[in-house]
Amino acid sequence: MDLPAPYLYIFAVFAFVVGGCFGSLLNVCIYRIPLGVSIVYPGSHCSVCGSPIPWYNNIPIFSWFILKGRAACCGTRIDRRYWIIEAITAVLFLAIFLKYYTEGVGVVLCYALMVFGLIAASGIDMDHFIIPDRFTLGGVVAGIVCSTLVPELHHQTSAWKGFNAALGGAFVSGLVLWLVATIGSKIFKKEAMGMGDVKFIAGMGAFLGTSSIVWVIPVSAFIGSIFGIFLIFTKGGTWGTRMPYGPFLALAAILWIFGGSDATQAYFDHIQKTLQAAPVIQPA
Ligand SMILES: [Zn+2]
C-alpha cells in the first residue's frame, strides 16, 4: 500500500484520534473487567457521585487538561493515569500506522489489536497482580486468527503458513518462559512469576512468531530489573517488593514491533555473514 502525502497525513491524524478513543475504552476495561462489570453498560459515569459524564467532558486526553484533573460534576480528583493511557494508546496507534502502512491495512489492524490487549492486560496486572484469561488465552486465539487472516504478520504468503507460524510462536514462547519460571522458582525458592505471564507471552508469540522470544524475555527481564532497582533507591522498595511482570513483557513486545525485530534480524544476518566469511580450515 502506497499513500500520497495528503492522504498519509489525514490517515495519520485519524490513527491518533482512533488511538485516543481506544485509550478511553482501555481505561474502562482496566477498571471494570476485574470487577466483573459490563464495559458498555452503564455508560461513562462519575465513580464518586454517579453523575453521567457528557461526551464533551469525555474527550480523550484533552478533557483531563480542560477540567484541570477534576470531575465537572463534583470536583473529585481524576487520576492522571487516565489521560496518560489515552495518550500512550494514541501515540502507539499513530506509530503502528506510520511504520506498517506500507505492509497493508491488515498488518496495521492486527498490531493495533495486539497493543490494545497488551495495554489492557498491563493495566489490570498493575492494579490486581493478575492477567485475566481473556487477555492471555484470548491473545493466543486472537494471534492465531490474525496470523491466518493476515499471514504477512509473519512474512508468510498463505493462511496455512501464517497459522503454523502463530501456533509455533505461541507454543515455543509459552514453553520457554515456563521453563525459565520453573527453574527460577527452584533456584530462588520462591515463585518468580505466575502462569498468567506464561499464557500472556504465548499470546505475544502467536502475533510475533517464534524468533521474538530471543528478544522479549531478556529485554523484559532487563527493563524489569532496572525498574526494580529504581524503586529500591527512590520509592523505598525492597528486594522483596512485589512487582507485576506483565507490563514489562508487554513493553518488550511493543519494542519488538518498533525495532527489536529489525535489530534481531540484522544481528543474526551479521553472525551468518561472519561465519560464511571465516576461513575454512582444510584438512592437511
Ligand atoms: Zn462526580
Residues 6+ apart with CB under 8 A from 193: 177, 181, 184, 245
The Å distance, Cα 57 to ligand 1 centre, comes to 12
Please name the residue that has the C-alpha cell 526494580: 228
Higher pLDDT: 178 or 242? It is: 178
Residue 109's SS3 state is helix
The Å distance, Cα 215 to ligand 1 centre, comes to 44
DSSP for residue 238: -
**Worst-scoring range by mean pLDDT, 84-88, 202-206, 240-244?**
240-244
The Å distance, Cα 74 to ligand 1 centre, comes to 4
Q: What is the distance between the alpha carbons of residues 121 and 142, in angstroms, rounded to a whole number?
A: 14
The Å distance, Cα 88 to ligand 1 centre, comes to 25
The Å distance, Cα 17 to ligand 1 centre, comes to 26
The Å distance, Cα 42 to ligand 1 centre, comes to 15
Q: What is the distance between the alpha carbons of residues 213 and 203, in angstroms, rounded to a whole number?
A: 12
Provide the pLDDT confidence category of residue 205 given band limits of 50, 70 and 90: very high
Q: What is the distance between the alpha carbons of residues 179 and 168, in angstroms, rounded to a whole number?
A: 16
In terms of Cβ atoms closer than 10 Å to its own Cβ (0-12, 13-18, 19+), residue 151 is buried
Closest CA to 123 of 84, 150, 151: 84
Model confidence pLDDT, tens digit, residues 26-85: 999 999 999 998 988 888 888 889 899 888 988 999 999 999 999 999 999 999 999 999
The Å distance, Cα 203 to ligand 1 centre, comes to 38
The Å distance, Cα 77 to ligand 1 centre, comes to 9
The Å distance, Cα 46 to ligand 1 centre, comes to 5
The Å distance, Cα 90 to ligand 1 centre, comes to 26
The Å distance, Cα 56 to ligand 1 centre, comes to 15
Model confidence pLDDT, tens digit, residues 112-133: 999 999 999 999 999 999 999 9
The Å distance, Cα 45 to ligand 1 centre, comes to 8
In terms of Cβ atoms closer than 10 Å to its own Cβ (0-12, 13-18, 19+), residue 44 is middle
